[in-house]
Amino acid sequence: MNKPSLSPIPPRLKTNETMDFPNAIKEVINGKKIHKLEWEDKQSFGILKDGTLKLHKPDGKFYQWIVSEGDLVGIDWITIP
């Protein structure tokens, strides 16, 4: 019996599943907030604001997001409400 071949492209992830950075950025483009599970601060999230990537910090302010290599290769991204 033949096994079905697996697609190299992962299926669309459900809410609360982790994802890689490219998929997380697609969520940001669609208006979602993203959070990296590695971040100790649970109140931080990334968002598209004023045409640029911003990080929201617990102090209530938005900061320019300088994406790191860890961000780019991370597979622990989630969307948050």
Domain boundaries, the chain: 35-76
Give pTM, 2 decimals. Answer: 0.77
Residues 6+ apart with CB under 8 A from 30: none
Residue-by-residue pLDDT tens, the chain, 81 positions: 555 544 444 444 444 589 999 999 999 999 999 999 999 888 999 999 999 999 999 999 999 999 999 999 999 999 999
Query: What is the torsion angle, in degrees rounded to the nearest 10, for the CA atoms of residue 34, residue 35, residue 36 and residue 38?
Result: 180
Which amino acid, residue 52?
Answer: T
Per the CB < 8 A criterion, the answer to whether 71 and 36 are in contact is yes
Strand order in the sheet with 62-64: 62-64, 52-56, 45-49, 33-36, 77-80
- The token duo for 8 is 């190299």
